[in-house]
Amino acid sequence: MKNKNVLVIGGGSWGTCLSKLLLENGHNVYLWEHNEKVREVIRNTKENPQFLTNIKLPDNLNVVDDYGEVLENPEKYGKIDILLLATPTQFLRTILKRLKKFLNYNIILVNVAKGLEIASKKRISEMVAEELEHKEYSYVLLAGPTHAEEVAQKLPSAILSVSENEEAAKTVQTTFSNLYFRVYTGTDLMGAELAGALKNCLAIAAGIADGMGYGDNTKAALITRGINEMFEIAKYYNANPKTFMGLSGLGDIIVTCTSKHSRNRYVGEKLGQGEKIEDIISHMNMVSEGAETIKALYKIIKENNLKAPIFTALYEVIYEGKPVSELESTFMSRDLKSEFLN
């Protein structure tokens, strides 16, 4: 396989981790991070203590101050083959608007963010299609049960490269795969995007159960019934339910709802302990995608009369001041019925 030139936009934990992985796979990587101080620390120390602690980065990591310059000057930087978007969902449209003027050839866009845009309620691939209209690109989502902290330590992990363009998905598969990072391919982009967005919200609910001091029984039941609500939303979108049981669905649900590394589960845990969402978010280095996505999801549920009581209660607990016990009440006090009847 020919070595690739990769531009990574976003120097958070995942962008930094994947930059490290790609360099170790023999590719050439340019990393841009919007925070100038973080950029300088990475450039000078080859570490990113704010987002990926105790991980040494390769000496040949190129930290750049302007991603536009890299795309505009192929004679200096080489033609970029893959553009990796590692930017939180709610900030992505701003990046895409600027990117548009620099994309003048067919390129593979790999996105690793998971969420729905609050204002438009759109999935990330829809945002990309809007902002990069008339541009040539192949969109690939890289999603699955992978925490950057563990991938950076080379702990065995599996992930999904999903695209409506199978060749692009396979290119990403071969580019990112190695002995500890196994990449599968898929084509159900909408299902994978929905699963990735919704599981972040479910992880907050699971974290609330942790914060309230409930046990494994409670969390297992909550997650299972939450998955049932995810299926209801998938049905509304005509997404393939099989995707929700794969790496980007069930795999990611397991890791995000249970892991100490999960920022969404952490947010829920703090909510369960009585803290307010504004205070929790203000003390976090990284973004909780679920805390933003639930705003868009709540609109979708209400506007289309979908049956999703756990997600509905979650929004009301976070943003309407209802007590966290409301989630338990919603979950445990519904009418008794058969498990698989709505």
Annotated domain spans of the chain: 5-187, 190-333
Residue 328 is predicted with a pLDDT of 75
Predicted confidence band at 290 (pLDDT cuts at 50, 70, 90)?
confident
324 and 204 in contact (C-beta within 8 Å)?
A: no
Residue 287 marked as a ligand binder:
yes
Residue 157 marked as a ligand binder:
no
Predicted confidence band at 68 (pLDDT cuts at 50, 70, 90)?
very high
Whether this model's pTM surpasses 0.75: yes
DSSP one-letter code for 138: E
Residue 270 has pLDDT above 80, yes or no: yes
Residue 333 has pLDDT above 70, yes or no: no
Residue 59 marked as a ligand binder:
no
122, 199, 270, 295: the active-site residue: 199
Whether 135 is catalytic = no
Residue 340 has pLDDT above 70, yes or no: no
Q: What is the mean pLDDT of residues 266-288?
A: 87
Residue 332 has pLDDT above 80, yes or no: no
Q: What strands lie across the sheet with 137-143, from one edge to the other?
A: 62-63, 28-32, 5-9, 82-85, 107-111, 137-143, 157-162, 181-186
Residue 58 CA to residue 24 CA, distance in Å, equals: 8
160 and 142 in contact (C-beta within 8 Å)?
A: yes
Structure tokens given for 1? 């396989």
Q: Tokens 């991938």 identify what position?
A: 151
Q: Which residues pair with 158 in a beta bridge?
A: 182
Predicted confidence band at 261 (pLDDT cuts at 50, 70, 90)?
confident
Residue 25 is predicted with a pLDDT of 97
The answer as to CATH 3.40.50.720 being correct for domain 5-187 is yes
Residue 242 has pLDDT above 80, yes or no: yes
Q: Domain 190-333 has what CATH class?
A: mainly alpha
Closest CA to 111 of 223, 41, 51, 197: 197
